Amino acid sequence: MRKFKDNLLLGLLWFGAFLTVAILLIIVGYIFYKGIGLINLEFIFGDYSPVGGGGIWPMIITTIYTIVISLVIATPIGILAAVYLQEYAKQGRLVRMIRFATESLTGIPSIIYGLFGAVFFVTTLAMGMSIISASLTLTIIVLPVIIRTTEEALKTVPASYREGSLALGSTKLQTLYKVILPSAMPGILSGIILSMGRIIGESAAIFLTAGTVAAMPEGIFSSARTLTVHSYLVTQESGDIELAAAIGIVLIVMILALNFAATFISKKLNKADY
C-alpha cells in the first residue's frame, strides 16, 4: 500500500514536470514557428519604418537602455535592503512594516505602477514621457523581486559561516562582504535574472511612461518604444501575429543570452568561493 502510494506520488511528480516542460516547448515552439520567417539581419538591425517592412533596431536599443538603468538603480538598493532585513534588523514592527511593503509592492498590477509613473515621474518630476521615467518606474517594480530573492538566498547561507567569521574577529560588515554575500551570490543572481525578465516583459507600465515613439532614442530623456511594447502594439493594432512572434524570438534570444551570462558568472564566483 505504501509502495503504491509512493509510486503514485512519484508518477505525479514526473507528470507535473513533464507538463511544465511540454508547455514551455509548445509556447516557444509556436513563437519560433510563426516568427522565424521574418528574422534576418535587416529585420534586427534595420531602422523602423511606419510603412511596414522595417527593422526593430531602435526598439532593441530602447530595451537595453531600460534594463541597464533600472537594474543599476534597483540592484544595489534591493540587495542592501535584503541584507538589512536578514542580517541587521531586529524582528520588530519596523521590519514587519518593510516586509509588508515589499510584499504588497509585488502584488500591485503593473498598470497601476504605470499610472503612478505617468503622474509622478512624467508630470510631477517633469521628466516627460521618456526612457528615464520608464526606468524609474521599472526600478520600483523589480525592487521587491530583488529583495525577496536576495533574502531567500541569504537565508540559505548557513549560520555557521557567520559565526565562524565573527568568531575570527571580523566585523559584521567584513563578514557580510567577505563571507555572506559571496556565498549567497548565485541566489542573488537568479533574482537579478528574474528582474530582467520582468523588465523585458513589462508592457503596460512602459507604455504609459516611455510612450510609443518608434524611432531611435536620442538619449534617456527621449520618448521611445521597447520591444515588448512594440509587439503589444503590433498585436493590438495590426493583429500581425507573425511580426509579434518574430519580436518574441528576439526577446527570447535576449533572455537566453542573459541567462547564460548569469549562469557563467555565478559559476565563476562559486569556483572562487571554494
Partner 1 sequence: MLKLRKWKSILLLMSLTLILTACNGGEEDEGQASSGNGSTISISGSTSVGPLAEKLAAKYMESANVNIEINQIGSSAGITNAINGVSDIGMSSRSLESGEEEEVSPTIIAFDGIVVVTHANNKVKDLTMDEVKKIFTGEITNWKEVGGKDMEIVVVSREDGSGSRDAFQEIVDYSSGELVRNSIIASGNGNIKTTVATNEHAIGFISFEYIDETISTVHINGVEPTAKNVIEGKYPLSRPFLFVHKDLSEESQAFIDFILSEAGQEIAAEAGAIPITEE
Partner 2 sequence: MPNPSEVKQKNKSNRLKYIMEFISEKLFLICALISVLSLFLIIGFVFFKGSNPFIADGYSFIDFIFGSDWIPSEDKYGIFPMIVASIYATIGALVIGVPIGLLTAIFLSEIAPKPIAKIISPAVQLLAGIPSVLYGVFGLAIIVPFLQNNLGLVKGQSLIAVILVLAIMMLPTIVTVAETAIRAVPKTYREGSLALGASPIGTIFKVVVPAAKSGIMAAIVLGLGRAIGETMAVILVAGNSLIIPTSITDSVRPLTTNIALEMGYAYGTHQEMLFATGIVLFSFILILNFVLAKISSKGGK
Residues forming the site for partner 1 (CB under 8 A): 49-51, 65, 68-69, 72, 75-76, 122-123, 128-129, 132, 177-178, 181-182, 207-208, 211-215, 218-223, 233-241, 265, 268-269, 272-273
Nearer to partner 2, 39 or 255 (CB): 255
The reply on whether position 111 binds partner 2 by CB under 8 A is yes
With CB under 8 A as the contact rule, the residue among 142, 143, 180, 192 that binds partner 2 is 143
Which grid coordinates are listed for 222? 527621449
Question: Of 66, 228, 85, 80, which Cα lies nearest the Cα of 138?
Answer: 66
Distance CA 99, CA 228 (A): 31
User: What x-and-dash track marks residues 214-243 binding partner 2 by CB under 8 A?
Assistant: --------------x--xx--x-----x--
The reply on whether position 45 binds partner 2 by CB under 8 A is no
The reply on whether position 173 binds partner 2 by CB under 8 A is yes
Distance CA 206, CA 213 (A): 12
Question: Among partner 2, partner 1, none, what does residue 17 contact (CB within 5–8 Å per kind)?
Answer: partner 2
Question: In terms of DSSP H, where are the helices of the chain?
Answer: 2-35, 41-45, 57-83, 93-107, 110-117, 131-155, 159-167, 172-175, 181-201, 204-209, 227-233, 241-273
Question: Among partner 2, partner 1, none, what does residue 237 contact (CB within 5–8 Å per kind)?
Answer: partner 1
Rg (CA), the chain: 22
Question: Among partner 1, partner 2, none, what does residue 125 contact (CB within 5–8 Å per kind)?
Answer: none
Distance CA 150, CA 127 (A): 31
